Amino acid sequence: MAFELKPGDACRLSKRLTVEGKPAFDRGDEVEVLAIDPDPERPGFKYVVFCPALGIRVRVRGSDLDRANCGKCGEPLIQSAYECVKCGWVVPGREDEWRQADLEKFRNRGVARDSHGRPIAGGWGPIIP
């Protein structure tokens, strides 16, 4: 994550997390950053969120969080997108991923594919196994 979150920011978990071996969060669960309080032994774990499954506050890494709302206008972001559909704001640090996804959509436009996702005859260019 190349951007800083602040208390009150809504986020989604980017992966499933456990706390002391117990399931705490599933991928995509929404959480709110309650505080920024780095763990002295693990400085990367600095965002404090509430875990309803365990009923406790836990620290998570920034790399485990994806921003849920636009940093400019506050509108909800589409989970798989890194650009706000309302104002065009792009999540800092995600510009390359967003551009790559956009380029991939353009490349695949109009390309017939087989059940494995490979281009088939009649698509753009030769079939590459």
Q: Does residue 47 carry a pLDDT above 90?
A: yes
pLDDT in tens, 54-110: 999 999 998 898 888 887 888 887 766 667 778 877 776 655 555 555 556 655 566
pLDDT at residue 28, as a whole number: 87
For residue 66, count CB atoms less than 10 angstroms from its CB and return exposed for 0-12, middle for 13-18, buried for 19 or more.
buried
Q: Output phi, psi for 102, to 5 deg.
A: -65, -45
Two tokens, residue 68: 């849920």
Residue 14: other Cβ atoms inside 10 A: 17
**71, 73, 78, 80: CA torsion to nearest 10:** -30
Q: Indicate the pTM of the whole model.
A: 0.63
Domains of the chain: 1-67 (2.30.30.40), 69-111 (no CATH)
pLDDT at residue 63, as a whole number: 86
Q: HSE on the CB side for 51, CA within 13 Å?
A: 21
Distance (Å, rounded) from C-alpha 22 to C-alpha 20? 6
pLDDT in tens, 11-46: 889 899 999 899 999 998 999 999 999 989 988 899
% residues pLDDT > 90 (the chain): 29
Distances (CA, A) of 107 to 97, 102, 116: 15, 9, 17
Higher pLDDT, 4 or 33: 33
